[in-house]
Amino acid sequence: MIETRDLLFKALSDPTRRALFERLCESGEQSVGALTAPAGISQPAVSKHLAVLRQAGLVQDRQQGRQAYYSARPAALAPLVDWTERMARFWDARFDDLDDVLKRMDQ
Amino acid sequence: MIETRDLLFKALSDPTRRALFERLCESGEQSVGALTAPAGISQPAVSKHLAVLRQAGLVQDRQQGRQAYYSARPAALAPLVDWTERMARFWDARFDDLDDVLKRMDQ
DNA sequence: TTAATCCATAACCATCGGGATATGGATTCG
DNA sequence: CGAATCCATATCCCGATGGTTATGGATTAA
Instruction: Specify the CATH number for the domain of residue A98.
Output: 1.10.10.10
Whole-angstrom Cα distance, residue A36 to residue A43? 6
Confidence of residue B106 (pLDDT cuts 50, 70, 90): very low
Do residue A6 and residue B15 have CB atoms under 8 angstroms apart?
yes
A8 touches A79 (CB < 8 A): yes
Q: Which nucleotide is nearest to B47 (CA to C1')?
A: C8
**How many folded domains does chain B comprise?**
1
Whole-angstrom Cα distance, residue A1 to residue A78? 13
Whole-angstrom Cα distance, residue A101 to residue A46? 54
Whole-angstrom Cα distance, residue A61 to residue A50? 9
Q: Chain A partners of B90 at a C-beta cutoff of 8 Å?
A: 22, 25-26, 74
pLDDT at residue A105 tops 60: no
Query: Which of strand D's nucleotides are less than 7 A from any protein C-beta?
Result: 5-10, 17-22, 25-28
Q: What average pLDDT does range B18-23 have in this prediction?
A: 98
Secondary structure E strands in chain A: 30-31, 59-64, 67-72
Whole-angstrom Cα distance, residue B19 to residue B13? 11
Paired residues of A59 in beta bridges: A72
Q: What average pLDDT does range A23-44 have in this prediction?
A: 96
pLDDT at residue B104 tops 80: no
Q: Torsion angle, CA of A18/A20/A24/A26, rounded to 10 degrees?
A: 70
Q: Which residues numbered 55-84 in chain A sit less than 7 A from strand D, measured from CB?
A: 61, 66-69
pLDDT reported for residue B25: 96
B27 touches B71 (CB < 8 A): no
Nearby residues of B4 by Cβ (< 8 Å), 6 or more positions away:
B56, B57, B79
Q: What average pLDDT does range A17-32 have in this prediction?
A: 97
pLDDT at residue A30 tops 50: yes
B37-92 pLDDT, tens digit each: 999 999 999 999 999 999 999 999 999 999 999 999 999 999 999 999 999 887 66
B11 touches B48 (CB < 8 A): no
Residue-wise burial string across A71-95, b where 16 or more C-beta atoms lie within 10 A, e elsewhere: ebbbebbebbeebbeebbebbeebe
A32-36, B78-82, B91-95: which has the minimum mean pLDDT? B91-95
Using a CB–CB cutoff of 8 Å, tell me whether A84 touches chain B.
yes
A83 touches A9 (CB < 8 A): no
Confidence of residue B11 (pLDDT cuts 50, 70, 90): very high
Q: Closest to B90 (Cβ–Cβ): which among A12, A25, A94?
A: A25
Residue A57's closest CA among A106, A95, A12?
A12
Confidence of residue B96 (pLDDT cuts 50, 70, 90): low
Using a CB–CB cutoff of 8 Å, tell me whether A101 touches chain B.
no
A38-42, B85-89, B94-98: which has the minimum mean pLDDT? B94-98
Whole-angstrom Cα distance, residue B101 to residue A101? 57
pLDDT at residue A106 tops 50: no
**Parent domain of A30:** 2-106
Whole-angstrom Cα distance, residue B70 to residue B24? 8
Whole-angstrom Cα distance, residue A74 to residue A57? 9
Nucleic strand D within 7 A of Cβ A15 = no
Mean residue pLDDT of chain A comes to: 89
pLDDT at residue B97 tops 60: no
